[in-house]
Homo-oligomer: A and B are copies of this chain.
Amino acid sequence: MWTRKHLLGLEDLTAEEITAILDQAAVFKSESLSGDSKLDLLAGTVVANLFFEPSTRTRTSFSLAAKRLSADTIDFTAASSSLSKGETFIDTALNLQAMGASLVVVRHKTPGAPHLLARRVDAGVLNAGDGTHEHPTQALLDIFTIREKRGTLEGLTVTLVGDILHSRVARSNIWGLKKLGARVVVCGPSTLIPPRIEELGVEVSHRLDDVIAEADCVNLLRIQFERQRGAFFPSIREYTQFFGMNAERLRNAKPDVMILAPGPINRGVELTPEVADGPHSVILEQVTNGLAIRMACLFLLQQRQEAGDPQ
């Protein structure tokens, strides 16, 4: 049963709460995404998308999820917003709420920005990525995709590859995967693995070739060129040589290994086109599942909004 007013991160959630979202997403996937019918569960609801970092797929996915449930949407991006006129982030959200938004989807470069917002608004807040902190719906769709294929996360080994240090996707995945009973391995150059990450219950590797054989799922994180200020690895070429997924590496993996990537992928960097478009790749299914996950999150939070106020 879902009782939370906000979805801020997977660190806070119990296994039962995560499962409630996954189950609801499964219902929406079979009910709505298969056919051409829209659901009217959020008819009359206003969903505000408040994006202070550029985003294509996450914003589009939330927007489309809202529309599939018949909600109205307001799109705010940093460029178009009154922030340039000196208004604060919180005031912008309060204004959207005053216009009737009962759900606010927020992406912000500052870790904790959605939490700050949640303390100030009555609307339900959905974290669509806060700096390097969490990106819960991305992790939920990754987990949904694995659970859909394998039935359970229990006992699976999921290997997160790449820039763990800057990745909110990694952080949310670690919380979610561990809670659902998976074994998590993080694998990347030592400069891109945060110190003491083992305390989160994960294992660390610096060579993909060492851990590829035991992985049930490999999640190839984006090299976020736009987020890296310094030089965390010598060259793209060297990164690809040690951590890129290619046909040769795939031959050392389990025959049913799943290849995930949050996208947008850099073809030839995190993985070769051959792998991206190959039979192990579930990259496009992740995108489809993202829509179902966001529908589920919007729906569960809106139900909670309507149930009334006690936090």
Contacts and interface: CB of A to CB of B under 8 A. Distances in A.
Contact of A44 (B37, B74, B91, B264): B37
Interface in A154-196: none
A307 interface: no
Given A60-B74, A67-B72, A87 B33 contact: no
Given A94-B284, A264-B87, A43 B54 contact: no
Nearest to A287: B98
B56 A86 contact: no
A226 B87 CA distance: 13
A15 B145 CA distance: 47
Interface string A48-81: 0000001011001101100110001010100011
B84 A54 contact: yes
Protomer copies: 3
A265 interface: yes
Most buried by B among A91, A94, A95: A95
Interface in A18-46: 33, 35-38, 43-46
Contact of A287 (B35, B99, B285): B99
A266 to B, nearest CB: 5
B287 A95 contact: yes
A266 B86 contact: yes
A80 B56 contact: yes
Nearest to A74: B60
Q: Interface size for chain A: under 10, 10 to 19, 20 to 34, or 35 or more residues?
A: 35 or more
A97 to B, nearest CB: 8
A131 interface: no
A263 interface: yes
Contacts of A54: 80, 84
A139 B27 CA distance: 44
A284 B98 contact: yes
Contacts of A44: 35-38
14 contacts: A36-B43, A38-B72, A60-B96, A64-B72, A64-B100, A82-B263, A85-B225, A85-B226, A86-B266, A87-B263, A88-B267, A94-B284, A98-B285, A98-B288
